[in-house]
Structure 1
Amino acid sequence: MRACIRAVFITALAAGTVAQAEVKSVNDAGFSIASNVRIDRDARSVYSLIVKPARWWSSEHSSSGDAANLSMDPRAGGCFCERLPGANGNAGSVEHARLILAEPYKRVRLSGALGPLQADAVIGTLELTIMPSDRGVEVTMSYIAAGYMRIDSKQMAPAVDKVLTEQLMRLKRVAEQGG
């Protein structure tokens, strides 16, 4: 499945459809990206949805191909994990990230190399911050990744930005539909 996820990233690069507007910095050591969206919901509702990734994360960007297998334990040390169904009871699992900060209704911070970065020697920090705004909340999703990447970080950054921005837009859509 990692090869499949890596192929999605490479295909996005080749298609030239990757938005780069939110790549904050990139160098040989890694990159930093951020996206921001306004959600017409209260902080409690949005936080409650963030910690239920099975409801808003894209199945296309999961290891099992089904976002219903994703879960998050919203406490320090908790896991953003995924069940990998297997034949004859031979199920597996993936730890996408470990929660290092869970501040209800304000922010979630996770440590983990996401997607194809997990197969490399990379450390990543993903943070979702919820700030009250005049109408609903502003949610910022940032990701910082550093370490040895087999794909040049200058190519990887816009692909990761595209995938994470897609997830943030899905969060907004589900939240505003009453999720």
Structure 2
Amino acid sequence: MKTKTNTRSPFLLTSCVLLSSLGVAFSSACMAKVNYADNAGFSITNVSESHAPIEVVYSHFIQHVDMWWPKDHTWWKGSLRIDEQAGGCFCETTDTASAAHMHISYVEPNKKVVMTGGLGPLQEMGITGALTWEFTTIEATGPSNDDTKASTTSKTKVTLTYNASGNIHFGGSKATEEDAVNLVNVVDKVQAQQLNALTTFSNEN
């Protein structure tokens, strides 16, 4: 009797874990860019804008992460918090379990927060890096109420950059260059959705 052999590549298996456990939706208002990617590390950048002022977006980022961060991007759909201080934690907790998604290494309120570590399945690969959230004000002009003079309003641009290093591997075997690049493209889409969740929440609240 013949047994079926699993011919799916390690990359496909790991990507399925990322996609299913993180619930990736590929539609996003973010501008995404893979700066570089190989089987020893990667750099990706996503940019999104909110109509809310910078103080509001930053406050939502820190104080309401449990409301805007997609619950499908967690281990157990637990409670999330970001400690607004160096040495703090971006953590998830339930009644019986806990996890550090990232650690906080730099905080400049309303400007920049840097987290370090590996998100999701990247942790167990030994991939680590710096996840930088940058908040900048964009001045936008438009017609005034009487349509005779231009008025100025402030929007917020959030730039999310993840610079990571470590050997990308699947099941103990180092990834091919192609499989590594494909995995990084998946990670890029995951982070685009996370960033878009923040700016959408800020627009609606």
**TM bucket by the smaller chain?**
0.7 to 0.9
Matched residue, 2:81: 71
Kindly report the root-mean-square deviation, in angstroms, between the aligned alpha carbons of the 2 structures: 2.5
Aligned partner of 2:159 among 140, 143, 161: 140
Question: Taking every aligned residue pair, what percent have the same amino acid on both sides?
Answer: 30
- Unaligned residue ranges in structure 1 (runs of 5+): 86-90
Amino acid aligned to 1:79? C
Normalising by structure 2, we get a TM-score of 0.73
Whole-angstrom distance in 2 between the partners of 1:21 and 1:44: 24
Amino acid aligned to 2:77? G
Matched residue, 1:49: 60
- Conserved in 1, the CA contact under 8 Å of 2:32 and 2:45? no
Using the TM superposition, give the Cα deviation of residue 28 of structure 1 relative to its aligned residue in structure 2, in angstroms: 2.3
Using the TM superposition, give the Cα deviation of residue 24 of structure 1 relative to its aligned residue in structure 2, in angstroms: 1.2
Matched residue, 2:149: none
Moved beyond 2 Å, runs of 4+: 4-12, 17-21
- Number of residue-to-residue matches in the alignment: 165
Matched residue, 1:88: none
Whole-angstrom distance in 2 between the partners of 1:120 and 1:105: 32
Using the TM superposition, give the Cα deviation of residue 145 of structure 1 relative to its aligned residue in structure 2, in angstroms: 1.4
Closer, same or farther: CA 38–18 of 1 in aligned 2, 3 Å? closer
Normalising by structure 1, we get a TM-score of 0.83
Matched residue, 2:109: 104
Whole-angstrom distance in 1 between the partners of 2:185 and 2:198: 20
Whole-angstrom distance in 2 between the partners of 1:5 and 1:53: 26
Whole-angstrom distance in 2 between the partners of 1:38 and 1:60: 23
- Unaligned residue ranges in structure 2 (runs of 5+): 1-12, 140-153
- Conserved in 1, the CA contact under 8 Å of 2:92 and 2:101? yes
Q: Give the secondary-structure state (helix, strand or coil) at the position aligned to 1:63.
A: coil
